[in-house]
Structure 1
């Protein structure tokens, strides 16, 4: 089986003059990019790094970060991409945990690096003018290139992703070349990518979605247009100027694009394919995107860092909320809540926990040095995702939330996603998040946190819920209006912050 090192060599041999990567003024063909990748491999040799070693990064989506990723694949070294917003204590945990032998960072992560004893104990490569490096990234590209030969095999580790660690320490997710390449090939097939597609590289390269966009573009000799951090104006500018053909984003970023006043004036005609993952998309946002882009393909991709793809729906607007059916490399089930038995199947329409077959080609094999996490998530050859959902009469999966997010009010289970979809259809709601807050009588009460699009009041939204057919026990008992709903760096709603009161209420009433 091909490893990813051979994959980038194949792309450069097939299409040496095709545009491969764009980052500001940097525009490289595959031949030019491979030259830099090989020079970086040569520099890694100079550090004494060998196949099987690991290097860590704390970088935004720049050409340097993408080049490091591919150099590691060619060298047989595993890359450990960390959030560029990383804190010193996180570095002190992740660097020794991953047994990293080198750290590459930039200005936005320099302060954390300087305050981390674990980072200061390693060789540190600074990108640009970042202070605190023991070596300069630019200098690494001045030496001779390594031979155009892959030192990896399909069994080498390609990537270590660290989960967000919302509860306790983050978990390392090691992924082999064979799993990473299988996921990239499946991503190409399931999104019907053609040779030479162009995508917006804004999903961070420490996140599975960002890595998949990078790898998929190389497999089809396409172009990865980097955007170091999300900015709607710049994203719209790049869509038009670079004639991007496909977008793969979390729902929050799509929402922000639509909300930008420049959206309607932007030439979007080149975009033929939309894909989303990372969170459920509300019915309202789905309809607005479909009307705005009129895509030939609109894919809902449901997966995780551990197993890239669970399910795919290639026509998301046709059945709003559906995550579709098991993808090319996967089998999925819904098992009854609170059971450890992967054979205890929930009935059609019954909400349960979603589990995925661990023998799929895209699967990881267990967490890094975390037998406790393995014991909780890996059971009987199945991965217990921690997500809740149900299968409808057609066998399509609907993801309803996280096991930990489930609201239990008066003994009834309530899914936040269902209520969010109902409220998103009201014209006065720009964004909404549902959470359960402690209640002496009901155990938990359903609370709606709303970012308003206009001068809408709680009573109006309550009437909307009543008219929608939403069951009475699911109706929000309280509405809290916010200027911004707390989210993670990749746009996921942070319900734990809402439950902990870590939010700011609306400063001024909408329309005042």
Structure 2
């Protein structure tokens, strides 16, 4: 298999004058971008970074971030992209755990870098004149010798590590997921195939490059000589402007961002006809939003991608709108199973229709080999050649996968296992419900009671929503026993619902006396 440096060279050789990356006023062809990548490769060498070393990067989605990603692939250096919203203690953990040699950052992440003892002990490359840097990015990139190395030669192979992503940790300290170049290339190739990308596709580079979805978009565009339009910080109006200006053809977003696009006042006046392929991942898309996206974009292809940082593609559903809730079947490079909820054995398979834990075989071309410095996490999640995802779901009678949530999110009420996703999908179809999240809160009688948190698009009360659920096919014991009307549903930076915040009471009630209502049985 080719390494990633040679993968980028393919695009340069095939389409040197094709527009490759856009970041505001910065527009670069593949040939021009290759020269900037070459300068970055030379700069990393001057810092003393060698093949296998780790570079922590705390940047938004900007051309410098994407350039460093590719430079590391050429040099065989492991890029460790970190959430630019990280606090000092989180960054301290990442830098120390990764054993990083240097840190790249910008003003938006300066406070965390300044407060991190580990970051302060490393060489710090700063962008936009940020204070506290050892050297400025522009100066570093333009130092003598950079031009001589502008035509970078790949120094890595497919078995070199490419990237280490940090997953969210329940203790606040994430687990490092190192992935080799062959894993990353296989995942990108599968992404191209499963989303039916053609030569010259154009995408919105909005999913953060510290997240597997963002990395996949970046790599996939190089495979098809496509365009990556950077979005540094999410803004629906600016995203719509980019779609129209650059005639973007494919979107790969979390459901929350699709919701924001459709809710933007500018959507009605924006020409989005160039977009023919929609894809989503990171969280289930409820039935109401699926319907709205289909009507608004009229896509030729609408893909539900289910996966993780550890095993990029677990399953794919290429008719998301036609099969609401379905995550489809195993991806090109994956085998999957659903095992019983309390099982630790990959052969303890759940029956069709029985909810269990989703697992994926580690022999797949996209699968990682284990967590960085975390034998405890490996012991918990890697068993007999299979990765236990911690996600719940079931296979229907046709063998299609339905993802119902996280093992930790399962509501146990009166001895019954209740998935929040089922309830959310039904409530999302009510015309007065803008967004919904369901959690289980402590209850003396039932152990947990089902509570629905609702962001309203117009007035509706708890009684009307309860009647709506009673008239649906939702079984009675799954009905919410309480409704809480909130200003916003708390979400992570990549749009995942933060149920733990709702359970902990970390939300703002909608103004008004009827913001909370309990119901009888």
Shorter-chain TM-score tier: over 0.9
- Give yes or no for the alignment of 1:96 onto 2:89: no
CA distance in 1, matches of 2:290, 2:514: 24
Q: Tell whether the 8 Å contact from 1:455 to 1:510 is kept in structure 2 after alignment.
A: no
- Residue 318 of structure 1: how far off its partner (Å): 1.2
- Residue 286 of structure 1: how far off its partner (Å): 0.2
Q: Residue 413 of structure 1 corresponds to which residue in structure 2?
A: 417
CA distance in 1, matches of 2:119, 2:216: 28
CA distance in 1, matches of 2:411, 2:263: 30
Q: Residue 519 of structure 2 corresponds to which residue in structure 1?
A: none
Q: Residue 191 of structure 1 corresponds to which residue in structure 2?
A: 195
- Give yes or no for the alignment of 1:17 onto 2:21: no
Q: Tell whether the 8 Å contact from 1:449 to 1:480 is kept in structure 2 after alignment.
A: yes
CA distance in 1, matches of 2:514, 2:307: 37
Runs of 4+, deviation exceeding 6 Å: none
Q: Tell whether the 8 Å contact from 1:283 to 1:422 is kept in structure 2 after alignment.
A: yes
Q: How does 1:116-131 map to 2 (within 5 A)?
A: 116-131=116-131
Residues paired across the two proteins, number? 511
CA distance in 2, matches of 1:337, 1:115: 42
Structure 2 gaps, min length 5: 516-521
CA RMSD of aligned residues (A): 1.1
CA distance in 2, matches of 1:502, 1:175: 35
- Residue 86 of structure 1: how far off its partner (Å): 1.1
Q: How does 1:395-474 map to 2 (within 5 A)?
A: 395-474=399-478
- Residue 14 of structure 1: how far off its partner (Å): 1.0
Q: Residue 42 of structure 1 corresponds to which residue in structure 2?
A: 42
- Residue 144 of structure 1: how far off its partner (Å): 2.2
Q: Residue 202 of structure 1 corresponds to which residue in structure 2?
A: 206
CA distance in 2, matches of 1:259, 1:125: 38
CA distance in 2, matches of 1:490, 1:20: 24
Give CA-to-partner distance per residue, 1:320-362, whole Å, 9 cap, x none. Answer: 0000000100010000011101001100000000000100000
Give CA-to-partner distance per residue, 1:219-263, whole Å, 9 cap, x none. Answer: 110000000011011011111111000000000000111111111
Q: Structure 1's 13 and 443: CA in aligned 2 closer, same or farther, altered over 3 A? A: same
Pick the aligned partner of 1:320 from 321, 324, 331.
324
Q: Tell whether the 8 Å contact from 2:37 to 2:152 is kept in structure 1 after alignment.
A: no
Q: How does 1:1-400 map to 2 (within 5 A)?
A: 1-142=1-142, 143-146=146-149, 147-400=151-404
Pick the aligned partner of 1:491 from 486, 495, 500.
495
Q: Tell whether the 8 Å contact from 1:232 to 1:257 is kept in structure 2 after alignment.
A: yes
- Residue 437 of structure 1: how far off its partner (Å): 0.2
The 3-state SS of whatever aligns with 1:318 is coil
Q: Residue 479 of structure 1 corresponds to which residue in structure 2?
A: 483
Q: Tell whether the 8 Å contact from 1:200 to 1:247 is kept in structure 2 after alignment.
A: yes
CA distance in 2, matches of 1:44, 1:167: 33
Structure 1 gaps, min length 5: none
CA distance in 1, matches of 2:23, 2:170: 32
Q: Tell whether the 8 Å contact from 1:252 to 1:491 is kept in structure 2 after alignment.
A: yes
Q: Tell whether the 8 Å contact from 1:454 to 1:510 is kept in structure 2 after alignment.
A: no
CA distance in 1, matches of 2:260, 2:480: 25
- Residue 141 of structure 1: how far off its partner (Å): 2.2
Q: Tell whether the 8 Å contact from 1:453 to 1:510 is kept in structure 2 after alignment.
A: no
The 3-state SS of whatever aligns with 1:295 is coil
Give CA-to-partner distance per residue, 1:443-464, whole Å, 9 cap, x none. Answer: 0000000000101111110000
The 3-state SS of whatever aligns with 1:367 is coil
CA distance in 2, matches of 1:416, 1:357: 27
CA distance in 2, matches of 1:166, 1:269: 41
CA distance in 2, matches of 1:510, 1:299: 38
Normalised TM-score (structure 2): 0.97
- Residue 148 of structure 1: how far off its partner (Å): 2.8
Q: Tell whether the 8 Å contact from 1:40 to 1:145 is kept in structure 2 after alignment.
A: no
CA distance in 2, matches of 1:416, 1:410: 15
Normalised TM-score (structure 1): 0.99
- Residue 115 of structure 1: how far off its partner (Å): 1.2
- Residue 508 of structure 1: how far off its partner (Å): 4.6
